[in-house]
Structure 1
Amino acid sequence: MTADEASARQQPLWFLFLLALAVAGGAVSYMPFLTVLLPVRINALTGTDDVAALSYATFAGAIVASLANILFGWLSDLSGSRRGWILAGLVISGAMLVSMTRAETLGELIAFLMVWQLGLNMMLGPLSAWAGDCVPDRQKGLLGGFFAFAPALGALSGALITIPGIADTQGRLWLIALIVAALVVPALVMGKGRAMPHLVRPRMADEADKPDSLRKRSVVVNMWVARLLVQIAEAALFAFLLFWLRSLSPDFSENKAANLFSLAVCIAVPVALITGKWSDKASRPLLPLSVAAAISATGLLAMAFSQSISLALAGYVLFGVASMTFLSLHSSQTLRVLPKPQHRGRDLGLFNLTNTLPSLIIPGLVISLVPGLGFSVLFMVLAALAVLASVLIAVFSKPI
């Protein structure tokens, strides 16, 4: 097979969908657990809504997640196999999840949480790299659109397991584990032999001239920084959305805030799919990222200057849809710009730091701005970060 014939090969849509469902399995595993079930378990152990205990637990989990994602991505590079690591991580994370109720002290719960994060990232790190091994560049935009299902299914699973009377605490953990397995296993079973040799062929540094190598390195750095900046804005809104809405309307309920988040997530799915498909056809993979970051900034500015709850809600939906579209498409286009396939898993682990570092940055940022200056100033700062992200990617938005 010639190089042109290899690059023309595509994966069937059903396989892209299965890959996206597997990635969504990761979101289903951690979104309802970290946002609902972990706080409930800490309350059961301590007898109070212990914010400090929850902070310690999530911080320890984030550290393990960061290191484990790099480690297992790198090990899957060395072993030359992804599916075995994914399956092992699925089993370990599922087993640890359903064992959380066995923890009788906060220290034991944190230990269980850390091992769970180890197994979860044993699954997620190689899974992301496997997508890079299988999906050609001409389909990465569409793949990114499918990735938008991950937060949507994560939010839906949280709503499902919290239906009154559906299950007790242990039953909810089992339900999550089973849903995750149902989402991940089909890709493992039906994806055998789907790798494309030209996507995994080791690439040496001397295969490209020096100017081209420097440009690609700059693209990677700019992509990393841009994702971090947008993630900071997105995570800040995720954590403090309800507090901000209640500063505008004191009787704004938790249910309304959850519905608002769900609305943005659901709208983002077709937007990301359409935009990703367009980027493939137009051969402009990075342009939608720059535009989405700019629209995110517009939404944040609308929130900063809103004088009514209706304008505030519209600004948040605009921000939410644009930022989620950005993050979904960014995840797939990162697979395009990484320089060496033989280090794909390790390098994606380094990109994953953009998902965990915001949890270390946001508390200090919010505490330094909101008490004295209010949410409006915070949103203006976050808008500036989104604009910078847009500019960083726009520099390299021409075909790569």
Structure 2
Amino acid sequence: MNQVPLTDAPATLSWTENGTECHALWRSERHAAPPKRVIIADDTLNADSAYRLACEGTGLLWRGDFQNARLLLQAMMRRSNAPIKPGKVRAKSKANADAPVTPQQAFHLHRQAQSQRARTLSMLLIPLNADRSIPLRRAPDLAQACAEAWGPATQANTVTSLRELLGVVGAHEWHKKGIEVEALGGAPNNKIFPSYGVFSPVRGEYVALVASAPLPVDYALAFDIGVGSGVLSAMLSRRGVKRIVATDNDPRAILCARGNLDRLGALPKVQLIQTDLFPEGQAPLIVCNPPWLPARANAPIEHAIYDENSQMLRGFLNGVLAHLTPQGQAWLILSDLAEHLGLRSREALLGWIEQAGLQVLGREDIRPTHAKAMDKQDPLHAARSKEVTSLWRLGALTAP
């Protein structure tokens, strides 16, 4: 359940400074193109001017105090979160002036706003030396955090957005502290340490479903499709599955899962394979927690959440029968948030299950308890308040 890894060679950012043409490698995990226009910015730039320039697509290469850059980004974030003034709203036609916004429209408007906000806030740029030190006053040492997220240094000067750099820092802190997963049991053996770019099990209800669902008669072997952080493989191991083959198409996820499973003592039971969806062979239990929302990701790192046209979901369903033993079960873990948002219907899901030669043997449901489900200020609260996460137990249609 992870994003497609970043494989393209980095682009080059160009700017003029002190009358000299300058160049540096451009690093963007979002695959965003480098800004075409770049100006030098420092502590004299106020937030209103910075936000206006960023909205115009002008990159602000920071040469001032690093901590002041953080404060400036916070000020720009507040401006991006401000309500749109009535004069800036595109007038509705008379035909749809009174028409209520549908959940699907609300979702797409929310995604458009998120995308625009990300583009704007990514215009505040930070330089990094070849060794990933930051040549700014009061700059912290982020070399280790960058190495965890991006791998070894390229031995070339780099420029990245401050927003993405702070995301690297946040991931580094999560990786150090870990996340307690209640369903794994008591501390200290219930922590998962997520890595940058790997889906983090902050929503523990889906792990609880795997912890409590009735196991099939034969559970000596299980496939974990889209291993991510390794949390579900760890849970299957805790439940007594003797051998687990776990797959993911992201090398970051494979490394992250290996580290977590090793710390939890489950690695001897688990074989990790970097591949798309299924490994070779068949298993009596196949588990998959695909991205839940069928929408286009705005950045590669969002592929853990968004599955355009339900490609992974449908690929899993269509491939299960060939990899499932005759009396085996496939556990599909899926939220119905997409249904409440009008992005996918329950009838479509059931139709795909039947078309794949599968039938529903049972379903375990649980309501989410994360903060967003309770946040009435969230733009998608109406849909989130109805959300249910389910573990669908699927078997072959021909099974007796």
Give the TM-score category using the shorter length: under 0.3
Indicate the structure with greater helix content. Answer: 1
Counting strand residues as a fraction of each chain, which structure ranks higher?
Answer: 2
TM-score by length of 2: 0.24
Greater relative CO, 1 or 2 (CA 8 Å, sep 6+): 1
